[in-house]
């Protein structure tokens, strides 16, 4: 398993544009190459940071049928539960598949020391369960992306040709939207 850290604060973003028009080729290639994502995000005023949403909106087709797990971080006792709840519909709209497990880091100043070392070992079991679920889901979805044709309006991608199916993804024409 290979991991890469992506800090949205360090992504080159055009803030005067929106969506895929501001796509960063390096970031898009990383997302295209991955089988799953872990989003670790703080909760601000019951929601997610605008910069995170802006970064997520930079891609679309790169996310489709990939696993995602969310970790919420909060200074309060709920550990980012509201930020996770707020991100779930966003993940679905982007074509990501959320896993069943979340990790909530509540009262964050009390669970890590100054060097970032975890002080509460109960989180080890939670993170392990989270990572196992994400790994399983990422493997299943990778198999599906490689081996199972997608059907839109009763017609398989392979029957329409790659370019027409790709067009459908790029134009965000999803069944049920």
**How is 101-123 classified by DSSP, letter by letter?**
--EEE-SGGGTB-TT--B--THH
CATH number at residue 22: 3.40.50.360
- pLDDT at residue 48 is higher than 70: yes
For residue 172, being part of any structural domain is answered with: no
User: What is the pLDDT, as a whole number, of residue 124?
Assistant: 93
User: What average pLDDT is seen over the chain?
Assistant: 86
Helix runs in 34-161, H state only: 50-56, 81-94, 122-147, 157-160
pLDDT above 70 (res 166) = no
Is pLDDT of 139 > 80? yes
Distance CA 58, CA 27 (A): 9
CA separation for the pair 131, 74 (Å, rounded): 20
Please report which confidence band the pLDDT of residue 81 belongs to, taking 50, 70 and 90 as the band edges.
very high
Residue 37 in domain: yes
Q: For residue 31, what are the domain limits?
A: 8-149
Q: Tokens 């009390």 belong to which residue?
A: 110
Q: Within a domain: residue 176?
A: no
For the cut 80, the answer to whether the pLDDT of residue 41 exceeds it is: yes
Q: Is residue 30 part of a domain?
A: yes
What pLDDT, on the 0 to 100 scale, is given for residue 86? Answer: 96
User: pTM here?
Assistant: 0.82
Domain count, the chain: 1
60 half-sphere exposure, CB direction, 13 A CA radius: 15
């Amino acid at each position: 398993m290979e991991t890469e850290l992506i800090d949205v604060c360090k992504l080159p973003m055009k803030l005067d544009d929106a969506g895929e028009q501001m796509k960063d080729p390096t970031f898009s290639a990383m997302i295209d190459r991955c089988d799953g994502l872990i989003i670790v995000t703080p909760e601000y005023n019951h929601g997610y940071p605008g910069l995170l949403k802006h970064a997520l909106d930079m891609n679309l087709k790169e996310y489709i049928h990939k696993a995602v797990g969310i970790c919420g971080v909060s200074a309060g006792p709920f550990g980012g539960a509201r930020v996770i709840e707020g991100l779930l519909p966003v993940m679905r709209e982007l074509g990501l598949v959320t896993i069943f497990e979340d990790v909530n880091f509540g009262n964050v100043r009390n669970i890590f020391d100054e060097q970032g070392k975890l002080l509460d070992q109960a989180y080890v079991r939670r993170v392990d369960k989270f990572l196992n679920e994400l790994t399983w889901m990422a493997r299943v979805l990778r198999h599906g992306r490689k081996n199972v044709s997608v059907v839109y309006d009763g017609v398989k991608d392979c029957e329409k040709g790659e370019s027409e199916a790709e067009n459908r993804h790029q134009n965000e024409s999803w069944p049920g939207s």
